[in-house]
A = this chain, B = another copy of it.
Amino acid sequence: MLGELAVERRGMDVSNEGASTLDQVVPVSRRTLHDELVGRIRDLIIEGHLAPESRIHEGQLGQALGVSRTPLREALKFLASEGLIELVPGRGAVVRRLTPRDVRDMLDVLAALETTAARLACQRASDAEIASLRRLHDEMMGYYAVRARLEYFKRNQAFHAGLATLSGNAFLAATHEGIQSRLRRIRFVGSDAPAKWAGAVAEHEEMVLALEARDAERLAAVIARHLEATWVRVQDVI
């Protein structure tokens, strides 16, 4: 289960070479071991390689990732703050299981955030931004047409994240992203059945149309309906 996980440490990554002005220079993002581990472990949990309720063995996981316990533990604390794992005194970290209640609650919060984002986006977003979201949607529809479920799903998530970003409220977008990532696994397995899938696609189409018309209330209503439907779709996989 934990084979071939070793972390590859990357040095600094100088991008943005040909910038002519210094105003828009993005700081060199050097990937630290901490970030790398946080991302990696988060994926292990979301993708189900670390099962809910299971204890995380620091020694084993550390060895599998090729890292000592110290940075690993630090990454675990970080993830605990995100709510993905629980720290049990004396027994270490346990992967948190989402109860139906948790999922329902999180979807309600997600709805509150997305409808707020929707209203803001209808006011603030530029035509170009809306057009780029439309492109993302069309791309998604392309993957839907050929039933490429994973690729479709990624665009789907990106679409919702993009909508949050278009609100112009970075904090909202970040909060939204945090919740969405925690629900990712459940939503993925919940979109399994073709009928469910089709429903979600139709709702997305409506959302794009409402956004293009900058009809905030209609967009908010569709989003609320979409997330209500999501709840129905995921209910039997929790």
Query: Which A residues are closer than 8 A to B by beta carbons?
Result: 30, 32, 34, 70, 73-75, 77-82, 87, 89, 101-102, 105-106, 108-109, 111-113, 115-116, 120, 169-172, 175
Assembled-state Cα–Cα distance A171/B98 (Å):
11
CA distance A170 to B234 in the complex (A): 20
Partner of A77, one of B34, B115, B169, B170: B34
**Can you name 17 A-B residue pairings with CB atoms under 8 Å?**
A32-B87, A34-B77, A75-B77, A77-B77, A77-B78, A78-B80, A78-B81, A79-B81, A101-B170, A105-B170, A105-B171, A106-B171, A108-B171, A109-B116, A109-B171, A109-B175, A112-B113
Nearest-neighbour CB distance to chain B for A26, whole angstroms, equals 15
17 additional contacts (CB under 8 A) given A32-B89, A112-B115: A30-B89, A73-B74, A75-B77, A77-B78, A79-B81, A81-B82, A102-B171, A105-B170, A105-B171, A106-B171, A108-B116, A108-B171, A109-B172, A109-B175, A112-B113, A112-B116, A175-B175
Contact assessment for B32 and A169 in the assembled complex, using a CB-CB cutoff below 8 Å: no
Determine the main DSSP class of A at the interface with B. helix
Closest Cβ neighbor of A30 among chain B residues: B89
The interface residues of chain B lying within 8 Å CB-to-CB of A79 are 81
Q: A32-B89, A34-B87 are in contact. Are A105 and B172 (CB under 8 A)?
A: yes
A113 to B74, CA, bound (A): 30
CA distance A82 to B87 in the complex (A): 16
Most buried by B among A30, A75, A113, A115: A113
Query: Measured between C-beta atoms, what is the minimum distance from A124 to chain B in Å?
Result: 12
Which B residues are in CB contact (< 8 Å) with A172? 105, 108-109, 112
A113–B113 Cα distance when bound, in Å, is 8
User: Can you name the residue of chain B whose Cβ is closest to the Cβ of A79?
Assistant: B81
Q: Which residue of B lies closest to A105 (CB)?
A: B171
State the Cβ distance, A9 to closest chain B Cβ, in Å.
12
